[in-house]
């Protein structure tokens, strides 16, 4: 089944260029010119990914991103923006976007990122039957089949990217993981982004799984290197 992508962009020329290239890449594309139109489209379809422009008439792309995330943790979100400032990038990632690209952008790079994102968030290939589907670590259980993380038997709401980071931690318990390795393990070898995206996701994960996010007991910082999981 073709991956379904929502393209939200008010400038018709850019939107059509993105849509055309995605269609040529085999994606099923739905276009929206505003956040309001996007919400309507999202309410009646199931999407693998959404590309959100920030500057839109009416509600902006950040606000749209937040409302999508409130309802849907599994969709992949790429924010596409003319604003290249670090602050906007961090803001986009901290409200639940999985990736961020700055205009002007290369269409082929965008396509590569959408493909990578869909693979990550995707209806992944069925697992080999002998693979262990539940991994326990301290009071946490990671269920790979349902893609749910439990803490003391209560499910924790994670995005697909957050889940993948947890998966990497569980497979490397007690091992210090350099940020580049987390980046590569979750976003793929050909990811063009920087390691800050790892830090932003770790910060969000800590908010969700730590009793005291400012004094983490499970996702430990290894200064100047990366992170280590302590179950
Ligand atoms: Ca715009």
The percent of residues in the chain predicted with pLDDT above 90, rounded, is 62
Average pLDDT along the chain: 89
**Alpha carbon distance 114, 211 (integer Å):** 34
Cα-to-centroid distance, 8 and ligand 1 (Å): 9
Cα-to-centroid distance, 14 and ligand 1 (Å): 9
Cα-to-centroid distance, 40 and ligand 1 (Å): 19
Map tokens 């309001």 to a residue: 36
Structure tokens at 171: 């497979």
Cα-to-centroid distance, 95 and ligand 1 (Å): 19
Coil, helix or strand at residue 102? strand
pLDDT digits (tens, 9 = 90+) for 43-61: 988 999 999 999 999 999 9
Q: Are 193 and 99 in contact (CB under 8 A)?
A: yes
For residue 66, the tally of other CB atoms under 10 A from its CB is 13
Cα-to-centroid distance, 54 and ligand 1 (Å): 6
pTM reported for the whole predicted model:
0.66
Cα-to-centroid distance, 222 and ligand 1 (Å): 40
β pairing state of 226-229 and 176-178: antiparallel
Average the pLDDT over 121-142 and give the result: 69
Q: Report DSSP state, residue 2.
A: -
Q: Please, which residues have CB within 8 angstroms of residue 169's CB and are 6 or more apart in sequence?
A: 137, 177, 219, 227, 229
pLDDT digits (tens, 9 = 90+) for 75-125: 999 999 887 777 888 888 888 899 899 888 888 889 989 988 888 776 444
Integer Rg of the chain from CA? 18
Cα-to-centroid distance, 15 and ligand 1 (Å): 9
> Which of 57-66, 150-159, 191-200, 219-228 has the least mean pLDDT?
191-200
- Position 88 scores a pLDDT of 84
Cα-to-centroid distance, 52 and ligand 1 (Å): 9
Q: In this structure, which long-range contacts are made by residues 69-72, counting pairs with CB atoms below 8 Å and at least 24 apart in sequence?
A: 69/95, 69/96, 69/159, 71/42, 72/42
Cα-to-centroid distance, 165 and ligand 1 (Å): 32
């Amino acid at each position: 089944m073709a991956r379904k992508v929502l393209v939200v962009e008010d400038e018709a020329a850019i939107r059509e260029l993105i849509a055309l290239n995605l269609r040529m890449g085999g994606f099923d594309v739905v276009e929206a010119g505003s956040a309001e139109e996007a919400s309507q489209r999202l309410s009646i379809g199931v999407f693998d990914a959404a590309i959100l422009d920030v500057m839109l008439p009416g509600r902006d792309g950040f606000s749209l991103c937040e409302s999508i995330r409130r309802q849907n943790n599994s969709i992949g979100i790429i924010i596409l923006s003319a604003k290249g400032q670090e602050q906007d990038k961090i803001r986009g990632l901290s409200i639940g976007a999985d990736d961020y690209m700055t205009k002007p952008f290369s269409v082929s790079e965008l396509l590569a990122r959408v493909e990578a994102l869909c693979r990550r968030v995707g209806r992944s290939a069925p697992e080999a039957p002998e693979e262990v589907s539940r991994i326990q670590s301290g009071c946490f259980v990671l269920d790979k089949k349902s893609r749910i993380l439990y803490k003391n038997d209560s499910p924790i709401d994670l995005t697909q990217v957050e889940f993948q980071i947890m998966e990497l931690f569980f497979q490397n318990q007690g091992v210090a993981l350099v940020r580049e390795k987390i980046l590569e393990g979750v976003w793929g070898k050909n990811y063009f982004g920087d390691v800050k995206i790892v830090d932003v996701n770790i910060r969000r994960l800590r908010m969700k799984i730590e009793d005291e996010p400012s004094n983490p007991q499970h996702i430990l910082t290894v200064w100047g290197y990366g992170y280590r999981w302590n179950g």
